[in-house]
């Protein structure tokens, strides 16, 4: 009889179970000892990152509190071609700068939807910060501010809005570089002046009616022309000269506003510079400058601080109504793109002078011919 011997299973015996437990325990201890440095290093790095984040948040809220409690003032140093603006940010106590962080001060200047500028500068946090900006673009700006700090690795950036707005007026600069005005245009302006002065001197009679002009405070209301008021809804008075008055002919200039756009603002600045150049070229003439239907400057020279400050308020969004009542010759300053919008509105019997701007980067426009009118047209590049 054959007997099959029993098969031996070590795991089913007590000794086998003890041996397996000891092996698993030794393997686990060895694995822990091997990975322990990595676990400790990971815990250290995690604690460091959390500490940095907490420190940044504490300093952020502290700096934000200081900014909301700070004061902001500005001073202006006006020069001929640019204005230096000094902003003074004064904190109630010294801010806490973060190590390995870069601080930036950002200011946004907005004079109109199409005339905006952005300035940024690196700063060091102190109790009182002086920020200097050179600005040469005329305008009345609403200025908003922002404080930004970024780590040197560029991993993240934090911005804190500054709750202080400033209204800053930058006067029109005095342009010393002469514009290329054709000598024939200046000669025409001189001839216009002399011919009109001669005509008025010949017809000079006491209390003689010569022309209309817009009503300003202080004028004699008895000279108001109510028929013109009924027709154009604007006050005009009859301009009279007495027998003993000294006649000095007034040149009337009008700037035709370009279309509202970024390019239009650049064109408007060039037109204002052109008006200053004309005023400088005609020192013996009395000039009156009009822009739109609400801006008028008498005795216009273009270089006085008062007039330069008033010119700062003009943008392409200024009221654009054009007055076609021109009983005497006018000098019109306009960009080449505005020709079609004005020609049909002028009195074709008055010898107006049109001085038209165009960009140097473009070809010079062909000579403009207006048939059956006494208009004189000149081109100036900028």
Q: What ranges do the domains of the chain cover?
A: 11-170, 183-204+248-381, 208-246
Q: Following DSSP, what letter does each residue of 265-277 receive, concatenated? A: HHHHHHHHHHHHH
Average pLDDT by stretches of 10, the chain with 382 residues? 43 52 69 65 69 76 85 87 90 80 90 91 88 89 90 80 91 80 79 50 43 64 73 69 43 86 92 89 81 83 89 86 61 85 72 83 61 74 83
11-170 has which CATH code? 2.60.40
Residue 366, pLDDT score: 59
pTM above 0.75, yes or no: no
Dist CA 81 CA 199 (whole Å): 40
Collect contacts of 195-204 with beta carbons under 8 A, ≥24 apart: 196/249, 196/328, 196/329, 197/247, 197/249, 200/241, 200/247, 200/249, 201/247, 204/241, 204/243, 204/247
The per-residue pLDDT for 40 is 66
Task: Report the pLDDT value the prediction gives residue 140, as an integer from 0 to 100.
Answer: 94
DSSP H or E stretch at residue 157? strand 157-170
Residues with Cβ within 8 Å of residue 15, at least 6 apart in sequence: none
């Amino acid at each position: 009889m054959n007997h099959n011997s029993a098969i031996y299973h070590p795991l089913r015996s007590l000794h086998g179970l003890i041996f397996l437990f000891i092996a698993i325990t030794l393997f686990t201890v060895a694995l822990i000892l091997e990975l322990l440095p990595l676990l400790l290093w990971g815990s250290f790095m995690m604690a460091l990152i959390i500490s940095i984040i907490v420190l940044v948040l504490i300093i952020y809220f502290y700096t934000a509190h200081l900014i909301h409690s700070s004061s902001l003032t500005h001073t202006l140093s006006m020069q001929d071609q640019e204005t230096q603006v000094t902003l003074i940010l004064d904190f109630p106590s010294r801010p806490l700068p973060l190590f390995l962080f870069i601080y930036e001060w950002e200011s946004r200047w907005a004079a109109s939807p199409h005339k905006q500028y952005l300035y940024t500068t690196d700063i060091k946090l102190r109790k009182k910060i002086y920020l200097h900006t050179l600005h040469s673009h005329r305008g009345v700006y609403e200025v908003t501010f922002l404080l930004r700090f970024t780590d040197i690795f560029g991993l993240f950036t934090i911005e804190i809005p500054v709750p202080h707005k400033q209204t800053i007026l930058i006067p029109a600069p005095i342009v010393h570089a002469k514009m290329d005005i054709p000598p024939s245009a200046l000669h025409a302006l001189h001839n216009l002046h002399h011919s009109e002065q001669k005509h008025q001197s010949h017809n000079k009679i006491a209390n003689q009616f010569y022309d209309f002009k817009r009503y300003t405070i202080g004028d004699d209301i008895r000279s108001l022309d109510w028929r013109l008021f009924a027709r154009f809804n604007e006050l005009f008075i009859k301009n009279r000269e007495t027998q003993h008055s000294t006649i000095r002919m007034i040149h009337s200039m009008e700037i035709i506003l370009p279309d509202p756009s970024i390019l239009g603002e650049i064109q408007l600045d060039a037109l204002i510079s052109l008006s200053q150049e004309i005023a400088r070229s005609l020192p013996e003439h009395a000039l009156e400058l009009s822009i739109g239907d609400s801006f008028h400057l008498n005795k216009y020279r273009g270089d006085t601080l008062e007039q330069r400050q008033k010119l700062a308020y003009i943008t392409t969004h200024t009221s654009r109504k054009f007055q076609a009542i021109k009983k005497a010759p006018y000098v019109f300053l306009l960009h080449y793109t505005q020709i079609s919008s004005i020609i049909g509105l002028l009195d074709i019997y008055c010898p107006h002078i049109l001085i038209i701007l165009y960009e140097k980067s473009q070809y010079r426009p062909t000579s403009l011919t207006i048939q059956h009118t006494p208009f004189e047209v000149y081109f100036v590049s900028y």
